[in-house]
Structure formats: C-alpha cells, structure tokens
C-alpha cells in the first residue's frame, strides 16, 4: 500500500515541529560552547526562531546576541561556521535531508520597541483618549 501524503495541516504542523527542534539543537550547541569561534564563544546568543521551508530543506535561524554583543559580527561568525552547525544539526535531527541553515539577526525586538514608542507618543495617547470618551457617549 502506498504511503499517504500529509494533509496541508499535518505538513504545517510538521514544519513547525522540525523548526522548533532545529532551534533547540542550535541553542544547545551555542550554550555549550561547541562552536569553536572567538566571536560566537564570547557572545551569549539566543536563537529566537527557526523558520523552515515546507520541504524542510532550508532553515532560517533568527538570532539575537545578548549583553550588547554586535548583531552583525555574531551573524557573520555564525555564517562562517554554518558547515559545522549544519553537520551537527543533521546528526541530531535524523531526517532524510539535512536542512541548509541561514542566519539572520532577529529584528522583532527593535520592531516591538518602535511600536511601543509610537504608542507612548502624546499625539497617539490623545487620540486613544478621544476614542475612549466617544465610546461612552450615546448611552443612557
């Protein structure tokens, strides 16, 4: 009997699970200092997310160096060590094909800060207060 293909929902769940597994493996490798690179070893790096392509052949890892380390330096160092990291992920993942890794700096924190600053802007606060007053009118 032929193997049944995954449904779209099962495929997306599988993609998310594999991405999370790759994130854990990368985080473990970085936390244990298994990457022999001065920049990577000196920085405490958080792997915030890993996005897999639907065919599981490519993985984009979003990283954020902690404690003020330079984003660009860390991403560059990780890119230089991609072959080692791919090999380690492949061994620990146990898939038919090992995903090709790409590293990008995680800009979601900067985006969240930007949105937070916008929401604290006096003009926006005034508009939000006006909307709050308008909701109660007309009731009675």
pTM of the model: 0.73
Distance from C-alpha of 109 to C-alpha of 71, rounded to nearest angstrom: 12
Q: How would CATH label the architecture of 8-106?
A: 2-Layer Sandwich (3.30)
pLDDT by 10s per residue, the chain, length 140: 454 455 666 668 889 999 999 999 999 999 998 998 888 888 889 999 999 999 999 999 999 988 766 888 999 999 999 999 999 999 998 877 889 999 999 887 777 777 787 787 787 777 777 665 655 454 44
- Angle, helices 82-93 vs 71-80, to 10°: value is 70
């Amino acid at each position: 009997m032929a193997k049944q293909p995954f449904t779209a929902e099962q495929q997306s769940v599988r993609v998310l699970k594999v991405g999370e597994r790759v994130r854990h493996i990368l985080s473990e490798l970085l936390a244990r200092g298994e990457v022999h690179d001065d920049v990577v070893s000196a920085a405490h790096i958080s792997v915030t997310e890993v996005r897999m392509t639907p065919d599981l052949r490519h993985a984009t890892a979003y990283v954020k160096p902690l404690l003020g380390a330079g984003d660009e330096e860390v991403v560059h160092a990780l890119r230089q060590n991609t072959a080692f990291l791919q090999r380690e992920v492949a061994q620990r993942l146990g898939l038919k094909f090992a995903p090709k890794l790409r590293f990008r700096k995680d800009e979601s924190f900067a985006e969240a800060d930007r949105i937070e600053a916008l929401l604290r802007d006096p003009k926006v606060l005034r508009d939000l207060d006006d909307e709050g007053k308008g909701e109660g009118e007309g009731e009675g």
